[in-house]
């Protein structure tokens, strides 16, 4: 068994406060399918956090489910979505978006982020009915590489979307660490104002499971629950999702957990940097991609769980380390000692 697993940020169960909330509300009889008091309370907390009192808020079980329901709802049959080539929907959702009938334009990008020019290029190439019609821009914040957008970058994306009649959808499976990141000035109300739809991840930030979908653009709110139900995303005991988001967004627990994850990532990055280690991309959130000798990697793998991300040269590879709300300082420090020659 491993001393510690840095595989991902969903290796543990839930933050104890969420378990307590589930237990303390367990005996209440509630309406099903998200029409319960807890989901209503969570909705109000999120509307407040987003500074969007009229946002429609829905809770679903997982990130792939959130993405496929949102895109099924936003796109007409002949419309498509623009995303980074490395985007979760383009690589790691087993064709879920195509299974709902839609093409993804996977755009090459070095850091997992899209730029206005990339979007313009796709739009410019799709001119008539022999081709699909791009309609949604899909971005992740943080990205698959742990990078984040600045407010200025997001404003530019929102502008290019408005100019081209595109919707902007933000996948926030790791939104917590992005909001807690020192590398960006974007706050949650900024996001909510700039995008049309927004997912707020619970699974990777201390919940047993659960993602919130916030739809800020009124025209996109209608009949969304039909789409959810059709894809099996309307949980009978929606209270379980509601309770967890109440827990996450009451007293800023969500932010506190993300700060912990980021702090531990920074501690890890600092420690590695002091040993002369370089990184594949700058460390901005709770994912880091240090470049290590492959011989060292093999030794580390005996005691620590992590993925080898990509070879860098003949003798080095980048690995992926992920910290979470649950990562202990001691595990980080032990790992740093293990790296030391």
As to burial, measured by CB atoms within 10 angstroms (0-12 exposed, 13-18 middle, 19+ buried), residue 217 is middle
Cβ 301 to a copy of itself, closest distance in Å? 15
Q: Which residues pair with 35 in a beta bridge?
A: none
Q: Which of 170, 198, 235, 284 binds a copy of itself (CB under 8 A)?
A: 235
Considering only residues 103 to 162 of the shown chain, the ones binding a copy of itself according to CB under 8 A are 103-104, 106, 129-133
Q: How many C-beta atoms lie closer than 10 Å to residue 103's C-beta? A: 18
What does the block give as tokens for 118?
């990339």
Site for a copy of itself in 190-209 (CB under 8 A): 203-204, 208-209
14 belongs to the binding site for a copy of itself (CB under 8 A): yes
Q: Does 19 bind a copy of itself (CB under 8 A)?
A: yes
Size of the site for a copy of itself (CB under 8 A): 80
Min separation Cβ 318 and a copy of itself, Å: 16
How many CB atoms within 10 Å of residue 290?
A: 23
Q: Which residue lies nearer to a copy of itself by CB, 151 or 231?
A: 231
Give the start-end residues of each E strand in the chain: 4-5, 56-60, 79-84, 104-107, 133-140, 167-171, 197-201, 211-215, 278-279, 287-288, 290-293, 304-305, 307-313, 316-322
- Footprint on residues 53-112 left by a copy of itself (CB under 8 A): 60-69, 72-73, 76-78, 80, 91-96, 98-104, 106
CA dist., res. 291 & res. 133, Å (int): 40
340 Cβ contact list (under 8 Å, min separation 6): 275
Q: How far is the CB of 61 from a copy of itself (least distance, A)?
A: 5
Q: Which is nearer to a copy of itself, 48 or 229 (CB)?
A: 229
Applying CB under 8 A, does 316 fall inside the site for a copy of itself? Answer: no
Asked if 48 is part of the footprint of a copy of itself (rule: CB under 8 A), the reply reads no
253 sits near a copy of itself (criterion: CB under 8 A): no
């Amino acid at each position: 068994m491993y001393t510690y697993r840095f595989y991902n940020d969903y290796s543990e169960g839930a933050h104890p406060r969420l378990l307590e909330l589930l237990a303390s509300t367990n005996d209440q009889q509630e309406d099903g399918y998200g029409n319960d008091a807890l989901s209503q309370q969570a909705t109000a907390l999120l509307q407040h956090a987003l500074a969007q009192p009229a946002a429609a808020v829905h809770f679903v079980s997982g990130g792939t489910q959130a993405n496929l329901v949102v895109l099924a709802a936003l796109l007409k049959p002949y419309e498509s979505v623009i995303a980074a080539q490395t985007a979760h929907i383009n690589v790691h959702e087993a064709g879920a978006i195509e299974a709902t009938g839609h093409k993804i334009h996977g755009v090459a990008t070095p850091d997992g982020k899209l730029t206005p020019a990339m979007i313009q290029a796709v739009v410019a190439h799709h001119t008539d009915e022999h081709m699909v019609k791009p309609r949604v821009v899909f971005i992740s914040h943080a990205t698959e590489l742990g990078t984040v957008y600045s407010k200025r970058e997001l404003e530019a994306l929102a502008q290019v979307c408005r100019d081209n009649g595109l919707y902007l959808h933000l996948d926030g499976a790791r939104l917590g660490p992005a909001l807690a990141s020192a590398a960006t000035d974007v706050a949650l109300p900024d996001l909510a104002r700039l995008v049309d739809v927004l997912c707020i991840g619970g699974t990777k930030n201390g919940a047993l499971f659960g993602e919130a979908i916030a739809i800020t653009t009124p025209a996109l709110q209608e009949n969304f629950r039909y789409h959810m139900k059709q894809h099996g995303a309307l949980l009978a005991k929606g209270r379980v999702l509601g309770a967890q988001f109440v827990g996450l967004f009451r007293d800023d627990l969500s932010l506190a957990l993300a700060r912990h994850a980021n702090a531990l990532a920074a501690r890890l990055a600092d420690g590695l940097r002091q040993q002369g280690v370089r990184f594949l991309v700058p460390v901005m959130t709770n994912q880091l991609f240090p470049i290590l000798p492959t011989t060292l990697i093999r030794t580390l793998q005996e005691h620590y769980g992590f993925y080898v991300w990509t070879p860098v040269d003949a003798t080095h590879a980048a690995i992926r380390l992920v910290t979470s709300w649950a990562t202990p300082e001691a595990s980080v420090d032990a790992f740093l000692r293990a790296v030391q020659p």
